Every structure is written in structure tokens, then in C-alpha cells.
Structure 1
């Protein structure tokens, strides 16, 4: 295992800057996910580490080995980098058995036969595929093929593991099971890993840290909890989980206490430092799980504000209702066990839960 250091990495495709001065440090044994929408630069960053793309600038180092240095011109070819790479497409040889697919990297490296057999048995047991050694890829499910592709990568003991959306070809239920299995495996391996995905659930459940990327740049780096609970900007808040954005302005501000006036005149008190003083246009963000329905005449526990929203639509999604509301001119989403009665709903917004972003009512999101 080894640490990975990416410094001011830049990659252009013609006039398009795909990766713009990206710097990431991955500690020895850490699992870091590059997360973002299509075209944000996450796969290009991974390809640069693997040596599949030559960057235009910056530096990549793994342990004591420099993979790329834009200043000196150093560029280590892919075959000289001890990286394990698993693609979105598993790329298994269809005419080879599971054993033959997995042993192939060791054969190329001229590892002795007895050692090859021992290592293949070891990794197939690790990915729980030892009973399928004599089968061909077409005889395996998508999840089983994914495990074989991972075993083929692990068998030559790479310094770092690079995973490029390895679960994206699986259906929803199989993907959920594979995610659980991969989480258990990463705990057992403790291998320095870069994982690329656009799936927020994968990122939140698997990562030690998440790197959220947008338009070739890093929007935020942090633990899953930090990214979810304290997003750096509206883009991160919208991309990670579901977020309600309510346009308004600062009516009053004192230290960590702010009173926000919504578009319809209703006011919400939050404990969050406003970007600026009274009159500043802001966006107030709440996660759906933070909002509660306020019973008529009852005062909710804790500090917060009670507001009234207009019910736009309601949909039953199995065990719960998704309710679309309009609050102060801003759309709001809420989940509840029972459908709301009538076309108005009283809501309690906690003072501690709101996040303030400076900006107009026109927020550019994903």
C-alpha cells in the first residue's frame, strides 16, 4: 500500500479544460471517492493516475514513485505503474475460465506456477468466487463477473486500487448487494483506493472521504457526514442527497442568529451566520428529513419556526408519501407516513438545520 498525491493536475482536450488544477492527497489505506455529474473530470483524473491519459500539467506521486511530473516531463507508462484498475465494463476474456482470467496478469509477470495457483485461490476466496473457478464469463451473473474483474486486479497485489464505476452495469437490487459486499471487502483489504462514481449512495456508504467535482474543479472535500451536513455551496447540497432551496432575504442578523424573510413574507429563524447583513439575498437550504409537520395549535419541541405551505401534489411511493409543496415561491419536498389533508400544510423548520447560501432566487444546480 502507498499514499497518493495529486498536485495541480491539469488536463485539456482542445479548448476544453477537463481537469483544472486538481489537488488531492489520499492517505495510505484510505478509500476516497471522486463524485460528480458526467463531464465533471472524475474519470479523467482516474485515467491520469492510471497512465491512460497524459496530463498537461501537475504532478502525480504514489509512495516514493513519481508517475507524472509536468515540469520535468517525467511520465511512467501504465505497465510500469503498480495500479489495479477495474473498469465500468469488466472486460473479461470470454473464451477463458474464471481461473484463467484471474491468473492472466501473473502469467504476464512470469510468476512461478505454484505461486500463481496459490494467489488465484487466495483472491477467489477473498471475493467468494472459489466455487466458480472453472466457469466461463457467460455462465456468471453481472455481480459475479464484477467480482472476477476485481479478483483479476487484486491478484498481482497493486499499490493502489482504481475503481471506475464498477457497479454501474448492475440492476438496482444487485447493485445494493454488491455495495454491501464491497464495503466489507474494503474493510478487510485496507488498500489505498480511488473510487469514481456519480451515485451519491455509493459515495456516502463506502468512502472515508468524498471529493465532489464540478466542471473540472473540486467543489468540496470532506467526510461523508461533512459533505452531507455542511455542503460548501448549493451545487454540493443539491448533488448530495435531496435538498430544498428557499429563496429569501436577510431581515435581521445578529452573530449566529438570522431571521430570513421568504418571498411570501413568512419569516424563518435560523442559527447560521448570514453571508452578509440585512437585505442580502440568500438561499435557505433544508434537507427533507429535517422538516416536520406541525399539528394545529401545538408547539413543536426545540427552537424553530412554523410556516404554512401550499400542497402542489402528493404521490404514494410504498410505505410513505412524497409531497410537493410551494413555500414562499420556492418548491419544497417532504416525505410523510400519511397524506396531507387539504391544500395547506403547517411545517416546522428547525433553527439549527438551515444552511444559508448567498445568492439570488435563480440558483444554478445540477
Structure 2
């Protein structure tokens, strides 16, 4: 195993900069996910580490081996890098059995027959596919084929593991089971891993840290809890989970760590904790999660928050809960409730703490 260091990584395709000055260190045995929308640069970053795309600038080092250094003219081809790469397509040889598919990398490396058999048996047991060693790919489910693809990568003992949306071809139920299995496997392996996905549930449930990317740059790096609870900007807040955004104006100066009095476009007012100083008259956006909101019984004013009058725009049953669409001062909000509101008007309670104040408007994900 080894750590991974990326410094100033840049990759252009014509006039488009796909990866723009990316810096990242992944510790030995750490599982890090590159997360973001299509075109954000996450797969291009992974391809640069694997050597499939030659970067235009920067440096990549795994352990004591420099894979790429633009300044020194160093570029190791993919076959010289100890990277295990698993794509979203299984890429199994259809005319080979499971055992033969897994053996293929060892055959290329001229590993002796006895050692080859020992490694194949070991890795098939690791991915719980030893009973299927004699089957062909068309006799396996999608989840089983993905396990074989992973076993084929692990059998030659790479220094780091690179996974490019490996679960995206599975249906929803298989994906849930595969995610749980992969979480268990990563604990047993302890292998330095870079995982690329646009699925936030995968990122939150599997990762030691998440790297959120946007427009070829890193928007935020943090633990799953940090990314979800303390997003660095409106883009991250919007991309991770469901977030409500409420534009407002600050009434009077608010000190850092103190409460800010906010006025909405319809004249209603509420209070929110300001992590940073907010000058009076400035435009801000208050971001908060649906689970932080509550329905306030008519005529009540629960402590620790503000009550605002809203209009109900939709009610959708999603199994166990209702998603309720609300309109507040021209902003569309989403509330999660056990029961749908009976009236078209609803009093909404927002806590003073828990939301995040961003300066200016909310530049959210597409």
C-alpha cells in the first residue's frame, strides 16, 4: 500500500480546462471519493492518476514512485503504474470462466502456476465468488460480474485502487446491496482507494473523506459529516442532499457568532446565527435542510426559532413520509412531514441555529 500525492494537476482538452490546479493528498489506506456533477473533472483526475490521460501540468506521486511530473518530463505509462482500475463497465472476457478472467493479469505478468492458483482462490474468496469460479460472465448477475472485475484488479496486488463509478450499471436494489458489500470489503482491505461517483449516498456511506469538484476545481474537502453539515458554499450545500435556499437582507450589523436579523422579500423577519460578520443591508442566502424545518401549530411560537407564514404548493407521498412543496417570499422550499398539511397555508418553524448564511445569492448546482 502507499499514499497518493497530487500537486497542481492540470488537464486541458483543446480550449477547455477539465482539471484546473487540483491538489490532493490521500493517506495510506484512506478511502477518498471524488464527487460532483458530470463534467466536473473527477473522472479526468482519476484517468490522469492511472496514466490513461497525460496531464498538461502538475505532479502525481504514489508512495516513493513519481508517476508524472510535468516540470521534469516524467510520465510513466499505465502498465508501469501499480494502479488497480475498475470501470463502470465490467469488461470481462465472455469466452473465459470467472477463474480465467481473474487469472489473466497474473498470466501477463508470468506468475508461476502454483502461486497463480493460490492468489485466484484467495481473491475469489475475498469477493465471495469462489463457488462461481467455473462459470462464464453471461451466467452471472450484474453484481456478480462487478465482483469478478474487482477480483481481477485485486489479484495482482496494486499499490492503490481506482474505482470509476463501479456501481452505476446496477439497478437500485442491487446497488444498495453492492454498496453495503463494498463498505465491508474496504474495511477488510485497508487499500488506498480513489472512488469516483456522482451519487451522494455512495460518497457519504463509503468515504473517509469526500472531495467535491465543480468546474475542474476542488470546491471542498472534508469528512462526510463535515461536507453535509458544514458545506463551504451554496454549490456544495445544494449538491449534497436536499437544501432549501432563502434570499434575505440583513437588518442591522450582525457580529460573527451572533444572531443576524433577516428580512425576506415579503417583509417577514427571522433570526439566524451568523458564523461570519454580516453588515446591515447586505444580501445573504440562508441555507437549511428539510429535516431542520418543522410545522408550527397555528398561533404558537416555539422557542429557539422563528415562525413564518408559507403557502403549500404541492404534496407528494414518497413512502413513509410526505414531501411538501412550499412558497415563502418567492422562494420554493421542500418540507418533509409525516402527514400532509390539510390547509393551503402553513406556519413554518425554522431554528435560529443549524442553517448556514452565505453572502449574496446562491450559486447552486445545475
**Which interval holds the TM-score relative to the shorter structure?**
over 0.9
Is residue 352 of structure 2 the alignment partner of residue 351 of structure 1? yes
Q: Which residue of 2 aligns with 1:277?
A: 279
Q: Name the CA distance, whole Å, in 1 between partners of 2:234 and 2:66.
A: 36
Aligned-pair distance for 1:117? 0.4
- Bigger drift between 276-285 and 143-152 goes to 276-285
Cα–Cα, structure 1 residues 10 and 156, in superposed 2: closer, same or farther, change >3 Å?
A: same
Distance between the aligned counterparts of 1:261 and 1:14, measured in 2? 47
2:103 counterpart SS class: helix
Residue 73 of structure 2 corresponds to 73
Kindly indicate whether the alpha-carbon contact (under 8 Å) linking 1:213 and 1:220 is maintained by their aligned counterparts in 2.
yes
| Structure 2 match to 1:308 | 309
Q: What's the counterpart of residue 324 of structure 1?
A: 325
- Tell whether the 8 Å contact from 2:255 to 2:274 is kept in structure 1 after alignment: no
Task: Tell me the equivalent position of 2:334.
Answer: 333
| Paired position in structure 1 for 2:9 | 9
SS in 2 for 1:125: helix
2:122 aligns to what? 122
CA distance in 2, matches of 1:352, 1:51: 46
Give CA deviations for 1:89-129 in whole Å, capped at 9, x if unaligned. Answer: 01000000000000110111111101100100111000000
In structure 1, what is the equivalent of residue 98 of structure 2?
98
In structure 1, how many angstroms separate the alpha carbons of the residues matched to 2:307 and 2:286?
A: 15
Per-residue displacement from partner, 1:17-64 (whole Å, max 9, x unpaired)? 000000010000000000000000000000000000100000000000
Alignment of 1:1-366 (within 5 A): 1-252=1-252, 253-256=254-257, 257-274=259-276, 276-300=278-302, 302-360=303-361, 363-366=363-366
- Give the Cα–Cα distance (whole angstroms) in 1 for the partners of residues 200 and 59 of structure 2: 28
Q: Over residues 199-221 of structure 1, what are the superposed CA-to-partner deviations in whole Å (9 max), with x where a residue is unaligned?
A: 00000000000000001000000
Q: Deviations over 1:186-241 (max 9, x none)?
A: 00000000000000000000000000000100000000000000101110000000
Instruction: Give 1:358 deviation, angstroms.
Output: 0.9
Are the aligned partners of 1:102 and 1:120 in contact in 2 as well (CA < 8 Å)?
Answer: yes
* CA apart distance, 1:341: 1.3
CA shift at 1:320, angstroms? 1.3
- Length, aligned pairs only: 364
Q: Is the 8 A contact 1:275 1:357 kept in 2?
A: no
Name the SS for the 1:178 alignment partner: helix
Instruction: Please give the alpha-carbon distance, in whole angstroms, between the structure 1 residues aligned to 2:129 and 2:262.
Output: 57
Give SS of 1:315's match. Answer: strand
Poorly superposed stretches of 4+, deviation over 4 Å: none
Q: Give the unaligned 5+ runs of structure 1.
A: none
Per the alignment, in what secondary structure is the counterpart of residue 341 of structure 2?
A: coil
User: C-alpha distance in 2, partners of 1:89/1:209?
Assistant: 25
Whole-angstrom CA distance in 2 between matches of 1:220 and 1:36:
11
- TM-superposed CA distance for 1:299, in Å, is 4.0
Confirm or deny: 8 A CA contact 2:256 2:278 kept in the other structure: no
**Helix, strand or coil: the match of 1:7?**
strand
Q: Which runs of 5+ in 2 are unaligned?
A: none
Provide Cα deviations, 1:126-168, integer angstroms capped at 9, x if missing partner: 0000000000000000000000000000000000000000000
Give distance in 2, aligned partners of 1:81 and 1:321.
Answer: 50
Aligned partners of 1:233 and 1:357 also within 8 Å: yes
Q: Distance in 2 between matches of 1:85 and 1:103?
A: 16
Which TM-score applies when normalising by structure 2?
0.98
Distance 1:154 1:13 in 2: 32
- Quote the offset at 1:363 in angstroms: 3.5
